[in-house]
């Protein structure tokens, strides 16, 4: 299975993070497979593991929780096109190239007064062979805006 997390950024662009084979731990710790250097994200926040044609997501006793399609979860099955929120970051899950187009969660709903998700201004992968890390600008401003989530 080929899986990606697609991060939606404030400027409307996206960053894609390919998931390695096996278990992927997301969190603030340097030994996570996908490092999110925000203080509101737990050291080991959640993990994704392949399960045939889907992924299993499990919260790792994070302080602020892990959300799947807007609902806080402890563990759940994740399908292509589902949305995962960790702190102020929203990702869409892509499995084997599906869905082909990544649409932010508010754009997939009928036009209403939906709130814009709080996402970083930039996201990049580190050099090949190292742990992918989200590079975040103005991370203190995200902490102040958590009440709006």
pLDDT category of residue 133 using cuts at 50, 70 and 90: low
pLDDT higher than threshold 70 for residue 108: no
pLDDT of residue 107: 64
How distant is the alpha carbon of residue 11 from its chain centre? 17
The structure tokens 């036009």 sit at 111
- Residue 63: pLDDT above 90? yes
- Beginning with the edge strand found earlier in the chain, give each strand of the sheet holding 71-73 in spatial order: 14-18, 3-8, 89-95, 83-86, 66-68, 71-73
Bigger pLDDT: 27 or 122?
27
Residue 35 has pLDDT above 90, yes or no: yes
DSSP annotation of 140 reads H
Global pTM value: 0.73
């Amino acid at each position: 299975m080929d899986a990606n997390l697609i991060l939606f950024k404030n400027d409307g662009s996206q960053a894609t993070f390919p998931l390695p084979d096996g278990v992927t731990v997301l969190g603030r710790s340097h030994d996570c497979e996908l490092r999110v250097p925000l203080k509101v994200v737990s050291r080991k926040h959640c993990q994704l593991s392949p399960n045939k044609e889907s992924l299993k997501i499990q919260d790792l006793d994070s302080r602020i929780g892990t959300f799947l399609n807007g609902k806080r979860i402890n563990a759940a099955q994740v399908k292509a096109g589902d949305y995962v929120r960790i702190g102020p970051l929203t990702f869409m899950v892509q499995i084997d190239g599906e869905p082909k187009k990544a649409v932010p969660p508010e754009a997939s709903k009928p036009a209403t007064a939906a709130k814009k998700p709080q996402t970083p201004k930039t996201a990049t992968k580190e050099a090949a062979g190292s742990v992918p890390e989200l590079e975040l600008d103005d991370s203190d401003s995200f902490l102040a805006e958590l009440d709006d989530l």
